[in-house]
Amino acid sequence: MSKIHVYLMPGLAASAAIFERIVLPKETFETHLLEWEIPLDNESLTNYAKRIATKIKHENPVLIGVSFGGILVQEMAKYSAARKVIIVSSVRSNAEFPRRLKIAKTTKAYKLIPLRLIANIETLAKFSFGDKVNQRLKLYQKFLSVRDIRYLNWAVEQVVLWDRTVVDETVIHIHGDMDDVFPIKNIKNCIVVKGGTHIMVLNKYRWFNTNLPGIIES
């Protein structure tokens, strides 16, 4: 019996190292780590997703994405005939964005974000993982590896301007009830992880190791 191939996409500016504690049974699953690439000039999210989808070398893969990576794998699914798409700490449409992101889109305030400051690890950690990061900065130095200004400019704009308005009900959504980037009050029909924050793929890895196999195979 052939293995199920699982492709993992990290969150904004993060490296695939965030998945280092996610362990799926090797007799059933084979995991593949995807990484962010620097976008081409004026590259749309659609074209970027198509380009990253070329990294998928197996039929009927499972795509798992965290945060902005969750948005990306939903776009990649258009080009990879995925067996299943699972998003973690993310959103299934822009209707699930918090109010501050909707305002940022309307006012174009995101263009005023000093992205050279975001390249600083402390600011980037707060931007990518939420406010509760003070005691974990050394950890984030390891995980937040993509600090290229072109990428950060592009990624922030792609999140804010994501135009998906209709939820794909086939997408499985796993979300923490203490997520401070995408508050759960705006999220519909998800698998709730009690005590899970926006970085729960790091600190709730035991939950994922216990539950992901069943979620994938169900």
Q: Which one is predicted more confidently, 2 or 175? A: 175
pLDDT recorded at residue 161: 94
Per-residue 3-state assignment (H helix, E strand, C coil) for the chain: CCCEEEEEECCCCECHHHHCCCCCCCCCEEEEECCCCCCCCCCCHHHHHHHHHCCCCCCCCEEEEECHHHHHHHHHHHHHCCCEEEEECCCCCHHHCCHHHHHHHHHCHHHHCCHHHHCCHHHHHHHHHCCCCHHHHHHHHHHECCCCHHHHHHHHHHHHCCCCCCCCCCCEEEEECCCCCCCHHHCCCCEEECCCCCCHHHHCHHHHHHHHHHHHHC
pLDDT recorded at residue 68: 95
pLDDT recorded at residue 91: 97
Nearest 10 degrees: CA dihedral of 193, 78, 12, 114?
Answer: -130
**pLDDT tens digits for range 12-60:** 989 999 999 999 999 999 999 999 999 999 999 999 999 999 999 999 9
Whether residue 114 is predicted with pLDDT greater than 60 in this model: the reply is no
Whether residue 128 is predicted with pLDDT greater than 70 in this model: the reply is no
Global confidence as pTM: 0.90
